[in-house]
Every structure is written in structure tokens, then in C-alpha cells.
Amino acid sequence: MRFIALEMENFRQYASKQKIDFSTNSKKNFTVINGSNGCGKTNLLGAINWCFYGEEGLEEDKYHETKRLEILNEDTFNSMKIGEKKEVYVRISLGEKESAEIILERKKIFKKSGEKGLDLIDENFKILKESSGGFEEEKNKQVLIKQILPKEVRGFFFFDGEKLDSFFKIGSGTNIKTAIFDVSQIELINRTISHTEKVSKNLEKGIKNVNPEINKKIEERDKYQERKEELEKQKKEHEKEINKTEKEVSGIEDYLRKNSKIDVSSSQKERDRLNQETKNILDKKNELNSKIKDLILDNYSTSSLKEAINFTIQEVEKLDKEKKLPPEIDPVYLEKLLKLNKCICGRCLDKNSSEFKKVYSLMDRNSYGDNASLLIEGRSVLKRLIEKNEENFGRIRELNIEKLNIEKREEEIKNRNKEIELYLKDIDEEEVSKKETKKKMLYEALMDQKKYLGFCERDINDLEEEIKILKKEIDDLREKSNQSGELITQIRMLNESQGILEKILHEIVEDVRNTIQIKTEEYFFSMIWNRESFEKVRIDEDYNLSVINNYGSECLHSLSSGQRQVLALSFMAALKEVSGFNAPVVIDTPLGRISGEARDNIARNLPEYLKNTQVTILVTDTEYTPSFRDKIKNRTGEEYSIELNKKRGTSKLIRK
């Protein structure tokens, strides 16, 4: 689905009627809109978002300093008489070819209620769809929007390139996990799993359990399930808080970078790197603690029984040295001979004879019988347990040394951050100092929030395992109690289906994660200007993205702003490709932090990656250099400039 045209009036800076005719030529799939900073490029991105989803998709605080937060153009408002009404609308036409097949239109009608007063008196959103008799209004609007581009994945199609720099800086694991889950479109499977679980519980209510142990297990399972659901709610709330805090921290960092002196900016960048390194250290410590815990648990049984195990090994070895293991003659055979008063050779024996006593003495030497082979095999198993126990202790010592080393580095970072903080506080810039103080408070809060989120996720995983075990125990108890019938069969089928769905869910997410990792690495290496400095790009099972340099070390935290933006563009291109949605891509300020060879690489390669996609880029004069323009001219079908009337604060689009 492509954009055919965008029409709007009185939206933000655009007072008069404006129209963009997008390029629908598959070979010239780029539409370029060029304008200086502050002329309204980002508001075009906001207009597209608002028309689709009823919100602009921009940072919430973007307009906090304006007098009014409504979308009506300021110049239009000032020209209105009290009681006069004005309409704001954005209309987007879409189609597979060159003519409109679907029209989205969102509008608001305002009434001026005073010199500074404005009332919203009506709003409307409609979708017109082409039919044999013309255009008809679509009743299932939200369903159609989801088919074109669901809200949860819009950020991978309509995005601000300048903000990509911060994507991998704070809480990258959370950002990447959210992105991968969104693009995997697994919500339907999650809802199906949840529904299956509810149906299973409802069916259980109709079963009379004769065995009280079954009821006990069901109550225990339900208790765990309630706790899990409660933790999942807390997790969602915490993720919202983390996202909100991250945006606020990112906003403060942008301010400090743009408004501070060069040396302050340098210190800020150093602290950014140190904070990212601290986050990596925290992740590594959690990983080491988890490994140490697993090894301790693995060693617990062997360690507590070590003395008994060693004694058993010694006793078996003693028997082996005495040649009592393995038995030379079957003890059962000897016992049978003695009862018959016969020798091994077959002749009769007198009970009081020395020969009889000799045969009898063999009974003691061969008394271990069938257990002899068990003792010999058991000795090998016990020896391996002791060896594994020692290996585990050795590994625990190594992990503790590694942990001490990274804790030492953590302390060094902490001390350096204190030095930077003291330095920044001494600068005679009141606003910078306020921002620094607030950023410190927010960052500490963010670390606490992430720590609690980690606890939540761990507890949820533990509860899921407990619930699985209890479900299996309930099924086993029912089988032992000879419980049968249609309801039991249905419950078992539902439980099996849930297990299969969970497995499918995991496989889908893993497949998407691996594909995005491969594509991100491919795009990154083709666009980065110093590709020989890097070895690979990884997205691990905890959704942390790493860039490995040619020395084999993780270097994401030390990437420059431009390098991070190339990485983020690569990641977004990978997400778009994997998503399966053939929607247009709109990028605001795609090259804001990128210059030189990197810009040329992007100009050369990005059109190739998005060759089957309609692309609109909103660029500044400093981005849209002659070199960049020359490299994408063969792929550019439409070009516009934005003309700003500084006196009135209004903008208009000029087609070139």
C-alpha cells in the first residue's frame, strides 16, 4: 500500500490548504521534502501519525512551552473572531497503484471562545474505500488500520531519525525486546494461550474430584497463577514508568548536548559511555550471579553427601582389592551345592570335612552376587559426581574472580562519574545544573525500576515453571485416580495445546530475533564508514544488542552519535523488512548526526534495501547535500521544499 497524496489545512504550522503528491513510481520510490530547522518537517510526520492514529506520535513535551496544546494553527487562531469556527483536517489517500483506493480523513472543528480561549466542538475520523459504485465509508475502521499498519509497529515505518541516536543508549534490552515482540505480531498467540487457560479452568469447575490431593494441587496452582497475573500487571506498569523515565532522561541529555559548552558536552558524552558500561556491568553481574547460583544448587546434594560418597567409594575399592568384586562364583550356585552336600567338582561332601568348610568360605567371598556389578558401576558414577563437584567449585572460584574484577571496574566508573558530576556542578549555568541534578535523580530511579523489573521477570519465570509442574502432577493424579470423561479429555487437550502454543511463540520470537540480528549486521556493515573496525553485531537471548569490535570486545557504549544512528537505521530497516507489512516509510531527519563517507554510504545503500518500499525523507539543507542528492536522484520521483514565513510563523509546501 502506497501514499498517493496528503492534504491538510490549519494543522500546526500549515495554515492554508497544502498538498503533497507522493511518488508512486516503483523505480523512483523516494519523495524528498527539504526544509530548514523549525520550518515544519516534524509536523508533517505528526500529521501522518495523527491522521492514522489520532495522535502525533511525537514527544509529549514537544509543545509544553506553547500557549496551547491544540493542533489548530496559531496564525489562524489569531485571525479568528470570537465565536468563529475553524476546521483542522488531514486527509491521506492510499492505493496499490497510482490512484486512490482508500482515503483516511481525520478532522477537528474548533470555536474561539475568547481572546485566548479555544473550544473543541466536534471531531471525526472516517475511512472511504473504493467500491464498484464509487467510494463507500468503511465501518470497521480499526480493523482496516491494523491491516494497513498496526499502531504498535508504526514506529518502524514513521520515525524521527534524530531520536534514533538514543535508541541503544538507555535500556536497550527493553527497547529491542519490545520492538521484536511488536514486529513478531504475537499478540494473537498470547491471547489464545490466555483464553485456553481460562477455558481449562472453567471446565475444571464442572469436575468432582474424588481425590482430595487433586483439589489441593489445583488450589496451589491457582494461587501461583493469581500471583503470576499480579506480577505481570506490575511488570507492565513498570515498563510504562521505565519508558517514561527513559524519554525524560533522553530529553535532558539532548538539552545538555545542545545548550552546554564544548567541554560540558564532552563530559556528558563520556558519562553516557560510562552509564552504558555500568548497565553492561549490571547485566554481566546478574548473569554471573545466576551462573554461580546454578552451580551452587547443582553442587548442593553432592557437597552435603560428600563424606558418605567418599566412604562408599573407599569401601567398594577395598572390596575390589580383596577380589570380592566381581564374584568369581555365583553365590546362589554355592548355596545350592551346600544344601546337596556336594563339591563344585560333583563329589559328595561331609559337613564336618575341610572340603565342605572350604566351599562354605567361598559364600562369604562371593556374597555380593547380583549387587556386585551395581557396586562397580555405582563407584564410577560416584567418582564422576565428586569430579563434577570439584569442577563446579573451580568454576565458581573463576566466576567470583571475574565478578570481583567487574565490580572493581564498576567502582572506577562510579568514582569517575562523581568527578564529572562535581565538574558539571561547578559550571556557572543554572539551567544545566538543574538538568544535571534531575538527570541524576531520574537515572537512579531508572536503575531501581530496571532492577525491580528484573525481579518481576525472574519471579514470573519461576511461577510459570511451578505452574507447569503442578499441571503435570494434577494430570498424573487424575490418571492414577482413574478419572476420565469428556471434560477431563478436553482439559488435557487444552493443556497440551497451551504447551504447543507456548513453544510456537518462543520459536517465532527466536526466529525473528535471529533474522533481525543478521539483517541489522548486514545493513550496518554496508553503511558504516569504518567497517574494518567492527567484527559483528549481536542480539542475545536477553535482547541486548552488542557491537563487537575487531579486538573481540563489546563497543556499543563507545560508538559515536553518528555510528549509533547508522546502527539504529540498520535496525529499523531490518525490523521493517521482517514485519511483513508493505507500508510506506517516512523518516524525519535521517542523517542529522551523520556526515562524510557515512552519508554517501547511506545514500548508496538505503535505497537498495528499501527498493520495494515507498520512502519519504524529511531532510534539512545540511543533510541534503549535492553529493547526497546526486546519489539518490535516480530513485527520487517527487521533491518538495518547505517555505517558512518567519513573521507569521506559517509554512507552505512548494513542489519542485
Per-residue pLDDT of 248-306, as tens digits, reads 887 787 677 655 554 566 777 788 888 888 888 888 888 888 888 888 887 777 777 77
Residues 31, 32, 35, 37, Cα dihedral to 10°: 100
**Segment among 93-102, 340-349, 536-545, 623-632 with least mean pLDDT:** 340-349
Residue that finishes a domain, picked among 403, 436, 453: 403
- CATH code for position 93: 3.40.50.300
Average pLDDT score over residue span 383-410: 86
pLDDT tens digit sequence for 551-607? 888 888 777 767 777 888 888 888 888 887 788 999 888 876 676 677 777 777 778
Angle separating helix axes 486-527 and 561-579, nearest 10 degrees = 140
pLDDT at 22 over 60: yes
Is residue 266 domain-resident?
no
Q: Is the whole model's pTM more than 0.85, yes or no?
A: no
Q: How many domains are there within the chain?
A: 2
pLDDT at 140 over 50: yes
Is residue 298 domain-resident?
no
Task: Report the C-alpha gap between 196 and 203 in whole angstroms.
Answer: 11
Is residue 473 domain-resident?
no
User: Residue 5's pLDDT band (boundaries 50, 70, 90)?
Assistant: very high
pLDDT at 66 over 70: no
318 or 67, which is more confident? 318
pLDDT at 172 over 70: no
Pair 1, 583: CB distance under 8 Å: yes
Helix (H) or strand (E) holding 280: helix 262-304
Is residue 33 domain-resident?
yes
Maximum average pLDDT range among 156-170, 240-254, 366-380, 447-461: 447-461
Pair 168, 556: CB distance under 8 Å: yes
Task: Name the strands in the sheet holding 2-9, side by side, starting at the edge strand that comes first in the sequence.
Answer: 18-21, 2-9, 85-95, 102-112, 118-131, 134-137
pLDDT the model gives residue 359: 62
DSSP three-state, residue 616: strand
- Mean pLDDT score of the chain: 81
Average pLDDT score over residue span 40-58: 90
Is residue 320 domain-resident?
yes
pLDDT tens digit sequence for 340-396? 777 666 677 777 777 766 666 655 554 555 566 666 667 777 787 888 888 888 888
User: Residue 67's pLDDT band (boundaries 50, 70, 90)?
Assistant: very low
User: Residue 625's pLDDT band (boundaries 50, 70, 90)?
Assistant: confident
- Give the residue carrying C-alpha cell 530497516: 573
Average pLDDT score over residue span 195-217: 79
Residue 314 domain boundaries: 308-403
Residue 605 to residues 151, 488, 536, 560, 566, Cα–Cα distance (Å): 28, 59, 19, 21, 12
Is residue 203 domain-resident?
no
pLDDT at 125 over 90: yes
Residues 568, 571, 572, 574, Cα dihedral to 10°: 160
Q: How many CB atoms lie within 10 A of CB 371?
A: 12
User: Which one, of 472, 547, 467, lies nearest residue 225 by Cα?
Assistant: 467
Residue that finishes a domain, picked among 127, 150, 173: 150
468 or 173, which is more confident? 468
Task: Report the C-alpha gap between 621 and 645 in whole angstroms.
Answer: 17
Please spell the DSSP secondary structure of 440-505, one letter per residue. HHHHHHHHHHHHHHHHHHHHHHHHHHHHHHHHHHHHHHHHHTT--SHHHHHHHHHHHHHHHHHHHH
Strand 585-588 to 615-619 pairing? parallel
Is residue 511 domain-resident?
no
Residue that finishes a domain, picked among 131, 150, 169: 150
Maximum average pLDDT range among 15-29, 299-313, 329-343, 618-632: 15-29
User: Residue 430's pLDDT band (boundaries 50, 70, 90)?
Assistant: low
User: Which one, of 622, 570, 302, 282, lies nearest residue 450 by Cα?
Assistant: 282
**Segment among 51-60, 147-156, 173-182, 608-617 with least mean pLDDT:** 173-182
Is residue 369 domain-resident?
yes
The sign of the CA dihedral 147, 152, 35, 12 is positive
User: Residue 208's pLDDT band (boundaries 50, 70, 90)?
Assistant: low
